[in-house]
Amino acid sequence: MHMTVGVVLVSMLVFGLTWIIRAVNSDTYVPDLENELATRGLEVARQNGCVACHTLDGTVGIGPSWLGMYGKTETMVDGSTVVVDDAYIIESIVRPDAKQVQGYENLMIRYFISEEDIAALVEFTRQLAE
C-alpha cells in the first residue's frame, strides 16, 4: 500500500512540474533563429514534448535548459565531464541513459526520431548557445 501511494505521489509531482514548466516555457516564445533547420528543430522540440522539460530561456527545469547549453562543459553524476556538442546531443536523444548530468534525475525517455529531425534539434540547440 505504501509503495502504491508513493508511486502515485511521485507521478503527480512529475506531471505537475512538467505542466508548470510547460506553461512557463510557453509555445508562444520563439527565439531568434538564423535558418530553416533551426526553426524545424524548434518545431520538433515542441511536437515531441521536449520543451516540457528543457527550457528555452535559461530557467531551471526538469532537464537542463537549452539556452547556452551547446558548447558548455557539464559534469555527470559519475564525476566525469563532457562538452555539449553534436555527438553528446545525439547520444542524449538516442540513448538518454548513457550519461546523466549532475543535479538532474534520469527521467528522459528514448526518442525514435529521424536523423533529419535530430540534425534539426542539434542546429536549434547550437543557435540557442549564441
User: What type of residue sits at position 25?
Assistant: N
Per-residue pLDDT of the chain (130 residues; tens, 9 = 90+): 777 866 766 666 666 665 555 554 444 456 778 899 999 999 999 999 999 999 998 888 899 999 999 999 999 999 999 999 999 999 999 999 999 999 999 898 888 899 999 999 999 999 988 6
State how far the Cα of 122 lies from the Cα of 35, in Å rounded to an integer.
Answer: 13
How buried is 55 (Cβ within 10 angstroms: 0-12 exposed, 13-18 middle, 19+ buried)?
Answer: buried
Report yes or no: 18 and 53 within 8 Å, Cβ to Cβ.
yes
Q: What is the pTM of this model?
A: 0.73
With cell 559519475, the residue in question is: 78
